[in-house]
Amino acid sequence: MIPFLDLKPVNECYRPAIDEAIRRVLDRGWYLLGEEITGFEKAFAEYCGTQYCVGVANGLDALTLIIRAYGLGAGDEILVPANTYIASILAISANGCTPVLVEPDWNTYNIDPEKMEEKITPKTRAILVVHLYGQAVEMAKIWALAKKYDLKIIEDSAQGHGAVYQGRRTGNLGDASGFSFYPGKNLGCLGDGGAVTTNDAALAEKIRALRNYGSHVKYHNQYRGTNSRLDEIQAAVLSVKLPYLDADNQKRREIAQFYRENIRHPEIVLPKTSDELQHVWHLFVVRCARREELQAYLQEKGIGTQIHYPIPPHQQPAYAEWNALSFPITEQIHREVLSLPMSQVLTPSQQEQVVNAINRFV
């Protein structure tokens, strides 16, 4: 059996160092907002190429707090891809802002810059881009639109740790970026975790307070904040794994290349990318009109797959007011996508089994 994703061997690679990191926290006896988070924030900012990083409790909070710290709320519109994980959209709604959905591009599955300008109104305040499946959004046209209309660019980098566009890493392609360290992400901790990266000192300071009850100084509350901290154990674990992120991403790239060179099936559409983007393959997503049949067939062959995602946000009961809207590209993507096994510990023989099984699908 080849599972879609087996996290145990992923973390087992780092086991001695993780054990040591956890022991260090226990020995110190300091569990929140201590040396570990400070150290990780510094290292992750450096990795992304930004001046600041603020650790928070998860990726959704990272995005929600960015929007909140910019002071956006009711009446403000934020453009967001229609084809994304629901969290990108929930972060907008949670602040009372209006998400304005934009169709993706067929080649990248990321937001289509050509379809954005027509959605901009006098109420538009920001563009939330999502580096979906691990491929950085091609930003040039989005930078130009943001400049023209004076919009903030917020990145959802939860699937894009380490991905590059024009020599810059995600997290440093907009005004502020939200990361998730959910265990299955390319950089994952042993529970929930997240971070905001930015070059905006005032924004970073505000989020530092918002994550901790709105307080910079204990029991002095400047804002009506929340509790969204990255704990010391998770920060210590992330500090162990971060130095290996590029090597892990490189392994994913090699696996993706093997899949792309060897999967040959007239009914299967492979993902498209270019070398300059340095895709980090959080997910390896193929499309097939007979997706359900393909998934059942692979399951029967002992190959686990998943669907990212089965129902588009605008068709979810949580957004009933959008259910009548039509986003044909997004809908077709949701009908056809299937994610193949992908992780840095997938062996060559497992990769071959996946390829052979798919090529024999009838």
Ligand X SMILES: *Cc1c(COP(=O)(O)O)cnc(C)c1O
By CB under 6 A, residue 133 contacts ligand X: no
Binding residue (CB under 6 A) for ligand X from 50, 83, 159, 315: 159
Which among 139, 201, 207, 208 has a CA at the least distance from the CA of 174? Answer: 139
DSSP 3-state of 144:
helix
Part in contact with ligand X (CB under 6 A); list of ranges 153-161, 250-258, 263-271, 289-297: 153-161
Residue showing the smallest CB distance to ligand X in the complex: 59
Spatial contact of 326 and 314, defined as CB atoms under 8 Å apart: no
Choosing from 21, 56, 130, 139, the residue that interacts with ligand X (CB under 6 A) is 130
* Residues across the chain: 362
Q: Which stretch binds ligand X (CB under 6 A): 6-14, 156-164, 215-223, 313-321?
A: 156-164
Of 235 and 358, the one with the shorter C-beta distance to ligand X is: 235
Whole-angstrom distance between the N-terminal and C-terminal Cα of the chain? 21
Distance CA 71, CA 168 (A): 27
Residue 180 binds ligand X, judged by CB under 6 A: yes
Q: How many residues bind ligand X (CB under 6 A)?
A: 15
Are 126 and 116 a contacting pair, CB within 8 Å?
no
According to the binding rule CB under 6 A, does residue 99 interact with ligand X?
no
Smallest distance from ligand X to CB 163, Å = 12
Q: Contacts with ligand X in 53-72 (CB under 6 A)?
A: 58-60
Of 38-46, 155-163, 262-270, 350-358, the window that binds ligand X (rule: CB under 6 A) is: 155-163
Quote the CA–CA distance of 54 and 75 in Å, as a whole number.
28
CB of 131 to ligand X, least distance (A): 8
If one asks whether residue 40 binds ligand X (CB under 6 A), the answer comes out as no
Segment interacting with ligand X (CB under 6 A) among 79-87, 135-143, 290-298, 354-362: 79-87
Q: Identify the burial level of 193 via C-beta atoms within 10 angstroms of its C-beta, where 0-12 means exposed, 13-18 middle and 19 or more buried.
A: buried
Helices of type H across the chain:
7-12, 15-28, 35-48, 59-69, 86-94, 140-149, 201-210, 232-241, 245-262, 291-300, 328-336, 348-359
The 188-207 site mask, x for binding ligand X (CB under 6 A), equals ----x-x-------------
Cβ atoms of 164 and 277 within 8 Å: the answer is yes
Task: Decide: is 87 part of the binding site for ligand X (CB under 6 A).
Answer: yes
When asked if residue 158 is in the footprint of ligand X (CB under 6 A), the reply is: yes
Radius of gyration of the chain (CA): 20
Nearer to ligand X, 175 or 192 (CB): 192
Residues forming contacts to ligand X in the complex (CB under 6 A) are: 58-60, 84-85, 87-88, 130, 156, 158-159, 180, 182, 192, 194
